[in-house]
Amino acid sequence: MTNQGDILPADAQPTRIPRPEHAISRANISSSALKVLYRLKEAGFQSYLVGGGVRDLLLGREPKDFDVGTDAHPEEVRQLFRGCRLIGRRFRLAHVRVGRDIIEVATFRAGSDLLPGDDADSALSEEGRILRDNVYGTLEEDAWRRDFTVNALYYDINDFSVVDYVGGLEDLKAGTLRMIGDPEQRYREDPVRMLRAVRFAAKLGFRIHPDSEKPLWELGHLLADIPAARLFEEVMKLFLGGCAVSSFELLRHYDLFRYLFPLTDEALSHEEQGFPITFVARALDNTDKRLAEDKPVTPAFLYAALLWEPMRLRMQELVQQGSGELEAAQIAGNEVTVEQVRSTALPKRFSLPMREIWLLQSRLERRRGKAPYRLLEHPRFRAAYDFLLLRSEVGEAPKELADWWTSFQTLNESERAGMVEAPAQKKRRRRPRKRKPVTRSDA
Ligand code: ATP
Ligand code: MG
């Protein structure tokens, strides 16, 4: 099947499903998205709901957001809406603000077409990656340039029908995630599509079609060329989207995890006892559960957990080499962070609290005198305590310590006082004695 960009299949007849034969109802589309859809239509433009919104509505799921596709150019969109901002360098998109919502309005684009005057070399990298793809196109071309067939369905506000050029409806029914066009070529154009495959398979519980699946094992290395900031965004969607456990399992299955977290992947593959992997899985399971209960989750905690195993190993090494515990934690925390951000960025506002969570782990061991009271006041105490709980659940930290902190937080003042031992007697400072240099026979 050839269906790339301007080489559309000769018989590219779309299937149009009329309103009575599909389940998308305007009642399930946000009023903000409807406003935008109608406004475009009334101005004489084509106006469609596209992408994940249509997919999720057809599956009876609640869409995360609504995206709109139109033949209006970004400048024309801007003139129609007061609260409109044009964004994006690689391709321009309109963000239309309606009340508290932002609706993304994208002009139909043709796929990997070249700009007039471009030659293939300047629009594609050596690996076949798209460097520029801002060529406007028709609805049909817009459908073929999308990633998966189930993501290329359109809901027409004109007659409320669903338009399908790529066989997306059939795949949706079968629970198949299928890349449009030649999978290997499409992954090379944009390697992030491999992560998207994993993410949608995990989120929708779909099976990746064998042809779309095969290149995943072979092309992971292409992720090395993707800017770390874009990979960070993708990691957020993979692990803070409510399906972190299955995303992790699939990433490991396709050997893609190591391109996102190389230190962790390495640490996990060295481990025989299996507990670090249990730790990561527990942390991710915990994240999914919190999201399901509408509790807040933070990238700092997530990264702290994902990187804990390499962090711990490096700390051990440093302690063995003679560093104090706190110093080891500081050095290891720094090294692991510096190394990690080469793969996926981690903004400072997350990496600083992540490192605090790590550093507080050894402070949680100090239970004498004023120390525990002071720790309780620390802004990162709660996160550090949750982290300790996770560690104790997999047997990496003493359960007794975790239980102690659980009680300490819930008891009243006088009960607490009973839990805390007096501070250890300060040793009188002695003048440091001059030490004999250590010789082999001493060791
Ligand atoms: P989500 O529920 O996570 O928002 P989504 O399918 O809407 O899922 P988005 O990232 O919001 O995903 O993208 C919207 C649509 O844009 C997709 O459904 C797909 O059609 C298209 N798209 C996004 N990223 C790519 C890409 N890298 N290559 C091709 N098409 C893409
Ligand atoms: Mg979306």
Distance, CA 133 to ligand 1 centroid (Å)?
15
Identify the three-state secondary structure at position 95: strand
**pLDDT grade, residue 442 (50/70/90)?**
very low
In 204-280, the DSSP E strands lie at 207-208
Domain boundaries, the chain: 4-181, 279-419
Cβ < 5 A residues, ion ligand 2: 52, 65
Q: Given this model, what pLDDT does residue 26 score?
A: 95
Q: For a pocket test of ligand 1, which of 55, 146, 163, 190 has the largest count of ligand atoms closer than 8 A to its C-beta? A: 146
pLDDT tens per residue, range 33-90: 999 999 999 999 999 999 999 999 999 999 999 999 999 999 999 999 999 999 987 6
| Beta pairing, strands 101-107 & 93-98 | antiparallel
User: Which is it for the CA torsion 297, 302, 304, 305, positive or negative?
Assistant: positive
| Beta pairing, strands 162-164 & 153-156 | antiparallel
Place of tokens 């992560």: 195
Flag whether pLDDT at 439 surpasses 80: no
Flag whether pLDDT at 118 surpasses 70: no
Flag whether pLDDT at 438 surpasses 80: no
Rama region for 117: left / alpha / beta (φ>0; ψ in -120 to 50; rest): left
Interaxial angle between packed helices 308-320 and 275-292, expressed in degrees from 0 to 180 and rounded to the nearest 10: 140
- When the candidates are 1.10.3720.10, 3.20.20.80, 3.30.460.10, 3.40.1350.10, the CATH number that belongs to 4-181 is 3.30.460.10
279-419 folds as: cca-adding enzyme, domain 2 (1.10.3090)
pLDDT tens per residue, range 318-331: 999 999 999 999 99
Active site residue 171: no
Residue 415 CA to its chain's centroid (Å): 43
Tell me if 105 sits within 8 A of 37, measured CB to CB.
no
Ligand 1 atom 14: residue of nearest CA: 51
The model's pTM? 0.88
Active site residue 121: no
Q: Given this model, what pLDDT does residue 5 score?
A: 43
Q: For the residues 381-395, what does the mean pLDDT come to?
A: 96
pLDDT tens per residue, range 153-191: 999 999 999 999 999 999 999 999 999 999 999 999 999
Cβ-based neighbours of 178, under 8 Å, separated by 6 or more: 148, 149, 150, 167, 171, 208, 209, 211, 212
pLDDT tens per residue, range 339-381: 999 999 999 999 999 999 999 999 999 988 889 999 999 999 9
- For residue 133 and ligand 1, the question of a CB distance below 6 A is answered with no
Check residue 28 and report its DSSP letter.
G
Looking at the CA of 203, name the nearest ligand: 1
CA pair distance 219, 213, nearest whole angstrom: 11
Distance, CA 52 to ligand 1 centroid (Å)?
6
Q: For a pocket test of ligand 1, which of 147, 153, 171, 226 has the largest count of ligand atoms closer than 8 A to its C-beta? A: 147
